[in-house]
Amino acid sequence: MADRSPPRASKRALATVVALGALLSIPNLFVGPLHDDLVHQLVLEGMFDLPDDPLGLYEFTHGEASNREMIARGWLHWWTDPQLTLRFFRPLSSALLAIDHALFGRAAFPSHLHSLLWGVLLFATAAALMRRCLDARTAVIASLVYAVAGAHVMTLAWPASRHTMVSAALGGLALVLHLRWREDRRPVAAIGAPFALALSLLASETGLAAAIYVLTYEAMVATGSPRDRARAALPTLVVCGAYVAFYVLAGYGAHHSGTYTSPFREPLSFALVASARVPALLAEAIGAVSTFAYSTDPTSRVILVTWGLVSIAGSFGLLAVVRRSGDADGYRRLRWLFVACVTSLVPMVAGLIGPRMLPMGLFGASAMVGSAITVAWRASRERRGAARHALAGLAIAIAIAHVGLGSLVRLTVPFAFAAVAEAERRLATEGESGGCTSSGLVYLINGADAVLSVYAAPSIAYYSPQAVGPDARFRVLASAPHDLQVERTGERTMTVASAVRPRGENIFEQVFRSHEHPLREGDTVVAEEMTIRVLEMDPEGPASFEVELDRSLDDERVCLIVWRDGALRRIAPPGVGESLTVAHEPGPMGM
């Protein structure tokens, strides 16, 4: 594994790998806009109650006064903590989205093509890193594992999550340039590395992972005296220090949200969260088990964390084998890439985790996987009988899990994203919420699915703007994942209660309020024409509450809607003293 100068054939093989990664990305070109894509475009078009700042598209809140106004307007839910902060400093990624919109309007294809170009740069950067750190055969295999990884599908199919791919491509470039400076004595690379790192951080806070690779390289691989290595690490430390200081002092990050934990404000809570989320991400990066369901399925969380710990144990076993092989340089580099992989995932776990958090972590993980395949296959050539077959089978199984299943994910999952995008379009154009007047007061009773609770209002504003007048409001009343009992208690009042107690968790409800700052029984929330009084609370959120309007529930402007039979359906309010059951039905995301 000591040969870090593969012959030209290896370069051609790496180029072929990059091309294969691009080909597997083609299905993403045909996914429509979805989720935050809609919000970003509405903001850029001046149709959303957020500043149309082309450099601040990831700043979703702007202080308590703005939050209260957005709650009043219905853009934030009534249960939102007024002190909620969801502000992320991603000016480069925001600018790229704004450029897409300025050049191509709402056309999704050119935006996806733009994402694909970043994907190609990312795959090429990974290949350059593998070529420098691994022997020729292992470099090709590791580059292949990286280029076909299923984890890339989210960043390629969903432009709003492109920021982690852009950051990883630039961060990977910074890492390769740093190695060229340190190992090849290229002075231009010494300037380019911190510049690329700065761009990576301007794309996303996940660029901190690139700095971790550089710093651990200096600690574990680089030659020279401690002073020389500290001097080489200084530009990275300066860039990161300036970035973190600005990020914190300017108030960026997420606070008062149940799905984000600040490592600066809540270090102990963050450490506890990271102890589960980092192994879960490793379960996908090394163990080839997708993290798509981690946030929404408690059982999946247990499986992923367990498999992640198994993957860590297997990695230690692989490192022991490589160490015994006598390849000191190869062992040192592989050990560095593994440590960098694990530690680089720590900055990724402050919020909801999933495949989009993995582009940087996959640099080290793919090196580990490629090495595991190579080591197992070579060992099988030296054995006979059952041991030979077992080791060959292990190499093939790892290859199938990563290359085979990864390719399958890349070819098929974009169709799932396209289905969600189409569901959001149909929700807005074929549902019965449009039956309300353009000044209607629309109340969605059962919004457990994220498409309904978070993205129904943006979908309607995006696809059916004629149905949204300046006086219209769209409010989600409940997101408990259960049947709901609705009882009309007066001309202008009704109660909504979960039919299951204690009510269950909805992770997307927690985005807007943390368990550390819960609503309490008796709390009142006023949102223009609507007043909510919390009647009963469960650990996971409001279990029952009263809704009081400033007019009769029978008023022509009042529209009660429910998710039923795959669409938004308008229902008549019950009579005074009467009740009805609103059944829970999984929405477009299966929630």
List the one residue out of 403, 302, 277 whose CA is nearest residue 24.
403
Q: How many residues does the chain have?
A: 591
**Burial (Cβ within 10 Å: 0-12, 13-18, ≥19) of residue 319:** middle
Question: pLDDT value at position 464?
Answer: 86
Query: Within a 10 A sphere around the Cβ of 358, how many other Cβ atoms?
Result: 30
The parts of the chain modelled with pLDDT lower than 70 are: 1-9, 49-51, 432-435, 437-439
Q: Return the domain boundaries, the chain.
A: 11-33+106-420, 435-582
Give 58's contacts (C-beta < 8 A, 6+ positions apart): 87, 88, 89, 90, 93, 94, 163
Question: pLDDT value at position 573?
Answer: 94
Q: What is the CA radius of gyration of the chain?
A: 26
The neighbouring-strand residues paired with 582 are: 484
Rounded CA-CA distance 21/525 in Å is 50
Exposure of 588 in the CB half-sphere (CA atoms within 13 A): 25
Question: pLDDT value at position 49?
Answer: 62
Residue matched to tokens 């470099």: 139
Digit-coded pLDDT (tens) for 39-50: 999 999 988 766
Rounded CA-CA distance 114/95 in Å is 13
Question: pLDDT value at position 243?
Answer: 97
Question: pLDDT value at position 197?
Answer: 98
Give 143's contacts (C-beta < 8 A, 6+ positions apart): 14, 17, 18, 123, 126, 127, 130, 131, 366, 370
DSSP states of 520-535: -TT-EEEETTEEEEEE
Question: pLDDT value at position 167?
Answer: 98
Digit-coded pLDDT (tens) for 175-213: 999 999 999 999 999 999 999 999 999 999 999 999 999
Question: pLDDT value at position 438?
Answer: 63
DSSP states of 304-335: HHHHHHHHHHHHHHHHHHHHHTT-HHHHHHHH
Digit-coded pLDDT (tens) for 278-336: 999 999 999 999 999 888 888 999 999 999 999 999 999 999 999 998 889 999 999 99
Question: pLDDT value at position 262?
Answer: 80
Tokens of 494: 């009704």
CB 563 within 8 A of CB 444: yes
Question: pLDDT value at position 3?
Answer: 44
Tokens of 520: 């309490």
